[in-house]
Amino acid sequence: MPDRTYPYKSLTFHDGVAQRCARTIRFSLAFHLKDMNHRFITNWFQCSFVGLSLATYAACPQYILAQDSKTELPRSSHRRQAPLSTLPIVLGTTLWGPNDHTALLDDSNPEAANGSSSGSLSESFTPQSDPQNSNVPAPALENSASITGIVLDGSGAVVVGAQVSLADRNASQQRTLVSGANGEFTFARLPAGTYLVLINAKGLEPFKSGEILVAAQQTYDMPTIVMSIATKSTEVNVDTHTTEVIADEQVKAEEKQRILGILPNFYTSYLPNAVPLNTKQKYSLAFRDAFDPIRFVGSAVTAGVEQSNNSYAGYGQGAAGYGKRFAAAYGNGLTSNILSHAVFPSLFHQDPRYFYQGSGTTKSRLMHAISFAVVTRNDSGGLIPNYSYLLGDIGSGALSNLYYPHANRGAGLVFTNAAIGIAGRAGGTIIREFFLKRITTNVPGNGTP
């Protein structure tokens, strides 16, 4: 077809320009519809396509309306502008190519004048799927964020080969890489969430970022990271420091776990590969649990029950008797907690936490829960006899001889308390394995922050 020009308001537009405009719009919509499996068209796409269609319509309306025509348009019609009511038809023609919609604009078409056609307008405007590409998956937006940065030393020189670690808020996931030749690093394909960046380099002070919140498809450029020269006393092993920081984050997350948002559930780890705790962290978690306000409430209830049953009659009745029972109940819990969760785990390098299994057969999960009373994980990840809990219960029972009535003291009190502790722990882990996760708040992976 020879090249035609259409003067419009003193401007001239060629067929080639109009065709490229229309093809670009049609290809853009077809690509996005195919890539999104026809599930939805967002407001952004709608606005973009309407804007492009308006631009094409304003530039070359007669080309759009007559692109199927095999005859030359009359010269007088070149300047005729289609009414605004035809804009939806123009939009459909521009986006999906020539079809019978142009017939609706022909005043001489009786079917168009009567509002009838071979198919409804909405059906005509429905894009056709490509059978060869109908199985194209939807965009994977869940792993589309990234975090980048540059590491410098105090003199402004780039730090090459620094160990850069990325951990999420609960330290349940960790990725590690080394900075490049220009001190740069990039963590790509990240799900949206909150992260921490930890950097260690020989001879430099360790670096820990604040919490970094990234959204889907966001690239977060960290401010330039400047690491100062480390003094001799602060030089530490890179792996040890990174492990300690991650363990700190895990302990903080566990301290937020509460049954029904009230009762502490600090000693259940829902991370199967949790980082082991050092001595400081074991004592910190033990004291945090021992002095939680709920522990005082529990001791008060226990003392009330014992007083009503006149247990340990040597304490007597009245306020004085209740106070002694309360102190004894709380003392039992305090000494058992500190000995079982801090003192002996530090001596034997054992992890005092129960590690939730959550998968497998009911029998395997039941055996896993019961065995925790006698078998636990050491700091290297292996399984060993649970000396910490056994000796902790016996030690707590021995100390109780110092404050229980004389009539109740002796070896019987020691081993009775130890047996109660072991049995209670076995029963408690069964409940933790099968029931507590669903009613515990702030569990990693539950969607609760």
Reply yes or no on whether the pLDDT at 239 is more than 80: no
All CATH 2.60.40.10 domain ranges in the chain, comma separated: 141-244
pLDDT at position 174 is 72
pLDDT cut 70: percent of the chain above it: 64
Mean pLDDT across the stretch 135-149?
68
CA distances to 87, 253, 260, 363, 433 from 367, in Å = 71, 27, 26, 6, 10
- Residue 266, Cα to own-chain centre: how many angstroms? 20
Tell me: the pLDDT tens digits for 37-83?
Answer: 444 344 444 444 444 444 444 444 444 444 444 444 444 444 444 44
Mean pLDDT on 3-28: 45
Q: What integer pLDDT is reported at residue 310 of this predicted model?
A: 92
Residue 131: pLDDT band by 50, 70, 90 thresholds?
A: very low
Mean pLDDT in residue range 286-297 = 94
Extract the tokens encoding 276: 């082991």
Options 3.30.70.270, 3.40.50.12280, 2.60.120.200, 2.60.40.10; CATH of 141-244 = 2.60.40.10
pLDDT surpasses 60 at 124: no
Are the beta carbons of 261 and 317 closer than 8 angstroms? Answer: no
Is pLDDT at 11 greater than 50 in this prediction? no
Among the listed residues 391, 388, 394, 390, the one whose alpha carbon sits nearest the alpha carbon of residue 413: 394
Q: Got the DSSP string for 416-431?
A: HHHHHHHHHHHHHHHH
Q: How confident is the prediction for the chain on average, in pLDDT?
A: 74
Residue range 353-399, pLDDT digits in tens: 999 998 889 999 999 998 888 899 998 888 899 999 889 988 988 89
As given in the structure block, the two tokens for residue 100 are 């019978």
pLDDT at residue 230, as a whole number = 74
Is the model more confident about 133 or about 268?
A: 268
pLDDT digits (tens, 9 = 90+) for 260-286: 999 999 999 998 778 889 999 999 999
Q: Is 359 exposed, middle or buried (0-12, 13-18, 19+ CB in 10 A)?
A: exposed
pLDDT at 425 over 90: no
pLDDT of residue 210: 87
The pLDDT score that the predictor gives to residue 103 is 40
